[in-house]
Chains A and B, each alone.
Chain A
Amino acid sequence: MNEMTNKIIGTPLDRVDGPAKVTGQATYTADYRPTGKTAEGFIVEAAAAPGKIRKIDTQAAEASDGVIAVLTHHNAPKQNPYGTPEEAGRFTQSHAMLESDHVRHVGDPVALVIAETLEQARHAAKLVRVEVETSEGTFDQFAADVEIAKPDSLDGADEVDTSTGDFEKEFAASDVTVEASYFTGAQHSAAMEPHATVAEWDGDELTVHMAIQIVAPGLKAFANTLGIEADKVRILSPFVGGGFGSKLGVHNDAILAALGAKVTGRPVRVVQTRRNVFSNAPHRSKHRQDLKIGADASGKLKAISHDSLAAMARNYPFAEAPASPTRASYFAPAIKTTHRVVEADIPRVDSMRAPGEAIGTLTFETAIDEIAEQCGIDPVEFRLQNDADRDPNSGAPLADRRLSECIREGAKKFGWDGRVTPGRRREGNKLIGRGMASAIRPNFLVPAEAEVVLSANGQLRVRLDMTDIGTGTYTILTQVAAETLAIPVDQITVELGDSHFPASSGSGGSFGAASCGSAVFDACGKLSKLLQQRLSGKGIAANAISVEGDRVRAGGNDYALADLVDDGALTVKGAVDPSEFDHGEEEYSYGALFSEVEVDVDSGEIRVRRLLGAFDAGRILNEKTARSQLMGGMIFGIGGALLEESTMDTRYGSFMNRDFAEYHIAVNRDVPELEVHMLEGFSEKSNPLGSKGIGELGICGTGPAIANAIYEATGCRVRKFPIHMEDLLQHLPQG
């Protein structure tokens, strides 16, 4: 390898797509301009649900300026029934829209108005008159008379319920116990780019530009919805303006655009409005989480139980696993977890960044803080002494368990000086508190394929259907290719988000970089070998080669690439097979979060003053983009602890705060200078690159570190999230 490309994995290479993004040249879905004249689609939402459309009057809308068509269930093209085939799962089954007079939830599309311009479509949408005959719906899983069920499966976890040891016995025998119910609010991913699609038909072939995280299953979703073959569909998604789980699959705008384009014979663009996003894109359910924890007098955990209750959108099977971290964080002889759901007539519930852990660590790690305190043990010490040496739930060995290292490193970097009596750290009228929490998130590897094409001129193209949703994929894959083939970065072009390229993992579950990186690593390794073979075929000994310009270097000489490739280019495919890494050990990424907050003694206003994380995500693939991912996660954590909640009017099943004025995400001034420390590591059991997932890790543990700091500041344990100033007001010291 030459000096330049050796060891480029891990370096803080600037994003290769950076210049495009800072000049406005990166084309997101809504920026795509088809050659044909695009028509604009505007969604008409149901104002009441569940129920049946009694009457829908589109006459005035149809007569309005510029309107080309108004689609309703009366004239929409035929589709396969919603949710079929049932066994296909939520990413690939039919997402039929406007299929009948049935209205599922408030905000469900009942019409699509298609016009020449957005102004015309938006205006005409207001002229559509809809009458819905409502029937009784379920909107609140916490209500008294709801039907509670065990979901068939959980997102990202093997078992819905688990039980090890004898919980009742161990809990009864505990010297110290904590028992509490926690509430976490509903949340929306609210990526800055609203969901958008531009659909075009050419005969029986459909091309969709759309914002999507995982491309390949999307093809099947279109096929299963529209009753066509998946190979007649092409999805393009070169830039995605954030996903955070909300764009994993195909959503309403995509199907509506495809239907609209079919009917009008024109390219149709449907961009969700910000209000649409809160009802036509998925959300995280609000949860009740009941926790019981018992320990002996020395602070050894004896018993833990964690029971979760969420809503599941009717006919859309998804349940989150908040007790996932509880199963894996600390050892206790008895651990019992359950997950229950109530089917509700609400917009889709689906993955949001760090499903399970984001809200699971929020409650579990606050309860751990509470029991540590009751045992009279420092929370850092308490966690260290309860660290697990095997998986607490399954008993399986743990690969590269580094939780304690993260805690020690974080404590040192933060200057953790132990707990004080609540209210003791005071500066003027500010109550200061410090808190910490552990972070844990399962590490996944999923199948991925990639193709590399080396041209005679030395240009390397790396292709796969992977997406870059802000995660740095373009850059990381460039680095993997550069190091593996020993080729300069500026000779590499990574091409993503096209279903014509090999199918990959897509972006989700923090598995993208490891899975796709490994596939590219494999492809480039094979390409390098092939070049070596061809050189030796010419009698040239080549144990190590590198590519520079249009030459291959080997053994001190260089040779023209043109003589080594066929027909001007060499194409090689690579893949990663997760079963090769199936070693029976449980894998997680780890972290420890430390925070300092101030609470205004008069108003209860909470400000985060410091937030520090120490993380183990194996080998870091790009120091710069990894840090950004962790910081972004930590900011989501601030949101979960203090700001974000989608509030539903449970009388009618409608979200009430459907915009950024009312759904509060952290703004610049809400965020202090974040301190991020990444432990050096190489997780050889995880994948060939030695990396672990990082995109969701930063959220885990951040919220509880803040909540625990609020406790130290005020002496108040708030058991609902987000924590607001009014939750603290009554508990603040007078004067």
Chain B
Amino acid sequence: MHAMHPLRITVNGQEHRADIDPRRSLLDFARDSLNLTGPKKGCDHGQCGACTMIVNGRRINSCLSLAVSHEGDEVTTIEGLAEGSDLSALQRAFVEHDAFQCGFCTPGQICSATALLDELKEGLPSVVSSPDKLAEMDEEIRERMSGNLCRCGAYNNIVAAISSVAGDKS
């Protein structure tokens, strides 16, 4: 038997203790150990963003990260963003702006966008920012969401959805 490793992790506010296969990715841990199937596997190689989760406030590709490396971490998946049946502002905006079609990339897009709003608030620069200030909002969003592929091509609507919420916040 492969030696199992103990893990203590908080997912969507709930603490879990588990003995897990050290080869298990954070994505597969959520999907297969916790039955949180919102996060999606589009590539398993950090190339599509469908598996994006928020770990200790930062967005990561959960397929690229072994679950055992998240001892004590706080993880938020798409399942953790709504309060009961109250959708988050971004979730509402995604529906309103039709920011998806098949919806497969959507959990990743929304987790990514949720963390992105905080990055913008903190003024963290991206490759399109100039040294002293951020670029125009839509340009920043387009750049910062380019790690989340959408084969259905909902990109314009994704930008519109995020910027509608970012606009409200600023």
Contact = CB atoms under 8 A, between A and B. Distances in A.
A300 B116 CA distance: 55
Contact of B102 (A469, A627, A635): A469
- Which interface class (under 10, 10 to 19, 20 to 34, 35 or more) fits A? 35 or more
Contacts of A19: 87, 91, 95
Nearest to A675: B156
B152 interface: yes
A193 B81 CA distance: 22
Interface of B: 1-2, 21, 23-24, 28, 31-32, 35-45, 47-48, 50, 77-79, 81-82, 87, 91-92, 94-96, 98, 100-107, 110, 141-143, 145-159
Interface of chain B, helix or strand or loop or mixed?
loop
Contacts of B47: 274, 659-661
A265 interface: no
Contacts of B50: 192
B153 A635 contact: yes
A24 B31 CA distance: 11
A634 B102 CA distance: 16
Contacts of B141: 668
Contact of B145 (A240, A241, A668, A674): A668
Interface of A: 14-15, 17-28, 30-31, 33, 65, 117-120, 123, 189-194, 239-242, 244, 271, 273-274, 469-472, 624-625, 627-629, 631-636, 659-661, 665-671, 673-674
A716 B35 CA distance: 54
A120 B24 CA distance: 10
A671 B155 contact: yes
7 contacts: A23-B82, A118-B28, A190-B151, A191-B102, A470-B101, A471-B101, A632-B153
A624 B98 contact: yes
Interface centre among A15, A24, A190 (most CB of B within 10 A): A24
Nearest to A663: B47
Nearest to A189: B151
A666 B153 contact: yes
A274 B45 CA distance: 9
B3 to A, nearest CB: 11
B79 A241 contact: no
Contact of A632 (B28, B87, B110, B154): B154
A24 B103 CA distance: 9
Contacts of A667: 146-147, 149, 155
Interface of chain A, helix or strand or loop or mixed?
loop
B45 A271 contact: no
A194 B51 CA distance: 13
Given A244-B151, A660-B47, A668 B159 contact: yes
Given A23-B38, A192-B48, A242 B104 contact: yes
A24 B39 contact: yes
B95 A24 contact: no
Contacts of A668: 141-143, 145-146, 148, 150, 155, 158-159
Contacts of B36: 24
B151 A242 contact: yes
Contacts of A117: 21, 24, 32
A192 B42 contact: yes
B136 to A, nearest CB: 12
Contacts of A119: 2, 21, 23-24, 28
Contacts of A33: 35, 37
B117 to A, nearest CB: 15
A241 B40 contact: yes
Nearest to B88: A22
A244 B104 CA distance: 14
Contacts of B38: 23-25
A17 B149 CA distance: 21
List the 5 shortest-distance A-B pairs measured between CB atoms, nearest first. Answer: A24-B38, A241-B104, A470-B102, A470-B101, A21-B103
